[in-house]
Amino acid sequence: MNNDDISIKQKYEKYINTYSVKKMEDVVISHAEGALVYDMRGQEYLDCFAGIAVNNAGHRNPKIIQAAKEQMDKLVHCCAYVYYSEPPALLSEKLAYYTPGQLDKTFFSNSGAEAIEGSLRIAKQFTERYEFIALQCSFHGRTNATLSITGNRKRKQEGGPYLSGISFVPPPYCYRCPFELEKESCNLKCARYLREVIDFQTSGSVAAFIAEPILGEGGIIVPPQNYFQEIKKILEEFQILFIADEVQTGFGRTGKLFAIEHYEVVPDIIAMAKGIAGGFPLSAFITRDEIARSFKPGDHLSTFGGNPVSCAAAIANIDFLLEENIPEKALAKGENFILKLKNELMKKYDLIGEVRGKGLMIGIELVKDKEKTPAAEEAAKIREICRENRLLIGVGGVYGNVLRIQPPLVITEEQLERALNILDKAFSLIDKC
């Protein structure tokens, strides 16, 4: 550890409120490129977490950086909701084109939570209803409303009181099926259960159902193929809107530009953030014009939302992802990596209960025994060993026992092979403990 590292950490401790952070990763990052990050001494780390699934086009993607620099030389801020400027106009046109269905009116904000807040608000105003249904194991942000619809006690503790009128549906978590059924014969009970929730837990005045197409913080939970079609059928029957929270799944991460496309369902609203602008802060929610119109003058605004530099970066990001076929490549790389994890690691280490994911959104769930007792301490230890061996990964899951592999999508096959070898080494060391 050099003096720069120590003084940075000391300043963090003294001046940044990190009391809510469980544990800072013990690395001081100086710079980054592609799928690699470097610490203050120039030591290289392979990044398989991408700043929590953000740098999809790679760290400091040259096209994104160039677009942002050119924009910075022209205009940094004017407020997209007071004055017209080109970047938000061009970006909203692109989003209308590339999102499914008739989603064509975007509202820009800054963070994932803000995009979800806006989605909830517009759903309420359009339907003139006030209740929401969300999934157990979900995560939608850290503001009061987004925590209210988050289905995880650990995220919500000490944050209440929360909004009323929120109901939760059991999650499509096949590895730990809430109904203890088998995937092959369950007949999608978890999706059909939505009807029970509407009938017995709500007043019937439900504005929207919100779900992540793949649950990220909950543990990379991939719903079965027909899940969202079954859900959508029930929602249509009760004229309830469907909000897809694509904050973590969007922009190629799962092998499609938006993960809901895997399920061939068109949501009424899509919220997006994280991977939208190559690391520049930006978020948005997009909906049909008939829904968008329920905002009336003065209802909603954001000072920084639609920032010209972030929007210019987002345009370059989307162009790069599509011109280079990054989503398809991510799908292929992810399938390959999952296969290797299953064939090479899962067979060797009983600690691995399940490997799952889509594209480069991959979870490795760790369990202590055949009863699937969550192995959270082991997950934390493996993350630590990986970092000591210069591989950055995430840990999540409602039980804190899921390793998260969510690298920049430009990661190469060779780099993934390196990640596999380091993971192998980490598991073998844990095995010996």
φ, ψ for residue 338 (rounded to 5)? -60, -40
Task: State the nearest-atom distance from the C-beta of 245 to ligand PLP, in Å.
Answer: 5
Task: State the nearest-atom distance from the C-beta of 20 to ligand PLP, in Å.
Answer: 13
Answer yes or no whether residue 140 interacts with ligand PLP by CB under 6 A: yes
Question: Nearest 5 degrees, angle CA 350-CA 414-CA 381?
Answer: 35
Q: Which is nearer to ligand PLP, 112 or 363 (CB)?
A: 112
Q: Which amino acid is at 353?
A: G
Q: Which is nearer to ligand PLP, 141 or 363 (CB)?
A: 141
Answer yes or no whether residue 87 interacts with ligand PLP by CB under 6 A: no
Site string for ligand PLP, 45-74 (x = CB under 6 A): -------x----------------------
C-beta pairs of 197-200 under 8 Å, 24+ apart in sequence: 197/133, 197/167, 197/168, 197/169, 198/133, 198/234, 198/238, 198/240
Answer yes or no whether residue 212 interacts with ligand PLP by CB under 6 A: yes
| Other beta carbons within 10 Å of 372 | 16
Considering only 55, 111, 127, 148, the residue that binds ligand PLP (CB under 6 A) is 111
Residue 413, both tokens:
């096959």
CA 47 from centroid of its chain's CA atoms: 16
For tokens 């096959």, what's the residue? Answer: 413
Answer yes or no whether residue 155 interacts with ligand PLP by CB under 6 A: no
Answer yes or no whether residue 361 interacts with ligand PLP by CB under 6 A: no
Considering only 47, 131, 217, 378, the residue that binds ligand PLP (CB under 6 A) is 217
Q: What is the DSSP string of 261-328?
A: GGGT---SEEEE-GGGGTTS--EEEEE-HHHHTT--TTS---SSTT-HHHHHHHHHHHHHHHHTTHHH
Q: How many CA atoms lie within 13 A of 411 on its CB side?
A: 38
Q: Which is nearer to ligand PLP, 49 or 295 (CB)?
A: 49
Considering only 49, 126, 139, 399, the residue that binds ligand PLP (CB under 6 A) is 139
d(CA 289, CA 291): 5
Task: State the nearest-atom distance from the C-beta of 225 to ligand PLP, in Å.
Answer: 20
Site string for ligand PLP, 239-278 (x = CB under 6 A): ------x-xx------------------------x-----
> In this chain, which residue has its C-beta nearest to ligand PLP?
112
Q: Choose the binding region for ligand PLP from 59-67, 80-88, 137-145, 178-186 (rule: CB under 6 A).
A: 137-145
Name the site residues for ligand PLP (rule: CB under 6 A): 52, 111-113, 116, 139-141, 212, 216-217, 245, 247-248, 273
